[in-house]
Amino acid sequence: MDLGLKGKVAFITAASKGLGKAIALELAKEGVQLAISSRNKEQIEDTADFIRNQTGVRVEAMVADVSNPAEVHQFVETMAQKFGRVDILLINAGGPPSGEFMQLDDQAWEVAFQTNLMSIVRMVRETVPYMKENGGKILTIASSSVKVPIPGLVLSNTFRAGIVGLMKTLSVELAKDNILVNIVAPGRIATDRVAEIDAVKANKLGKTLQQVQEDSEKSIPLGRYGKPEEFAKAVVFLASDANSYITGSTIMIDGGLVQAL
């Protein structure tokens, strides 16, 4: 299948590691040029060098904190000038800290709000003007918690649900410009973020990390954690020309973990 991606331009946030990096690499393998950002200068530049060496595509890297409005604006403005277009926007951000409701103060809520919800609002607002002429794809990474809340992750459970409402609304409002808008929701994908959550759970239950991971695998019909590249390949399809009629959807990429209808 020809995905029609060669020569297109993707903007990807939080791309220095984990799912963001995996998606950037898979898109680059299809010939997509990349504008990538992260809060960590050394990590994002190392990622850019790695992807260039692996694929030969053009990769421009920039430091940007998606919770900072000025840095979001600067990232989009700078990269739009460099590339002259935006075909794909992939919005990613680090997940908020774990914790139960009574453990978290207003500051924790505000940081999560800015990082995990307002980052999407601002990235879309800044990017859409560059997409209107030719259409495009907007995707954001959420979590399986949009279907089933995860114990001990009240911040994520709350703001990921808000993302679904926002993206569904955007899919309607932007359809006239041929901009398709979707959410990709990972289950247990083997990333540093999931390892961190497992470590917190292990400490709380008095178990080893391996025991917690084995318990989690028992709840997954496919019997294992997913690989970042498996997640990324599904995202590549949604970002491609092969996807011409999926919009307003939340796609679970979870090995069958979430069994809600």
Model confidence at 200, pLDDT cuts 50, 70, 90, reads confident
Q: Which of 245, 182, 242 is nearest to 30 (CA)?
A: 242
Distance between CA atoms of 237 and 235, rounded to whole angstroms? 5
205 and 138: one domain? no
Asked if residue 261 has pLDDT above 90, the reply is no
* Residue 261 within any structural domain of the chain: no
* Residue 3 within any structural domain of the chain: no
What CATH number should be reported for the domain holding residue 17? 3.40.50.720
Q: How many domains is the chain built from? A: 2
High-pLDDT (> 90) share of the chain, %: 94
107 and 163: one domain? yes
| Domain extent at residue 246 | 9-187+228-253
79 and 118: one domain? yes
What residue ranges in the chain does DSSP mark as E strands?
A: 9-12, 33-38, 59-63, 88-91, 136-141, 179-186, 250-253
Return mean pLDDT, the chain. 96
Give pLDDT tens digits for 5-56: 999 999 999 999 999 999 999 999 999 999 999 999 999 999 999 999 999 9
Give pLDDT tens digits for 42-61: 999 999 999 999 999 999 99
86 and 211: one domain? no
pLDDT the model gives residue 159: 97
89 and 198: one domain? no
Contact yes or no for 78/123 (Cβ under 8 A): no
pLDDT the model gives residue 2: 87
* Residue 57 within any structural domain of the chain: yes
* Residue 242 within any structural domain of the chain: yes
Asked if residue 107 has pLDDT above 90, the reply is yes
Distance between CA atoms of 152 and 143, rounded to whole angstroms? 14
* Residue 168 within any structural domain of the chain: yes
158 and 119: one domain? yes
Q: What is the CA angle 137-232-52, rounded to 5?
A: 90
93 and 175: one domain? yes
* Residue 260 within any structural domain of the chain: no
* Residue 1 within any structural domain of the chain: no
58 and 123: one domain? yes
- As a residue count, the chain comes to 261
Average pLDDT over residues 223-234: 98
151 and 211: one domain? no
Cross-strand bridge partners of residue 64? none
113 and 206: one domain? no
145 and 57: one domain? yes
* Residue 4 within any structural domain of the chain: no
107 and 127: one domain? yes
Distance between CA atoms of 135 and 124, rounded to whole angstroms? 13
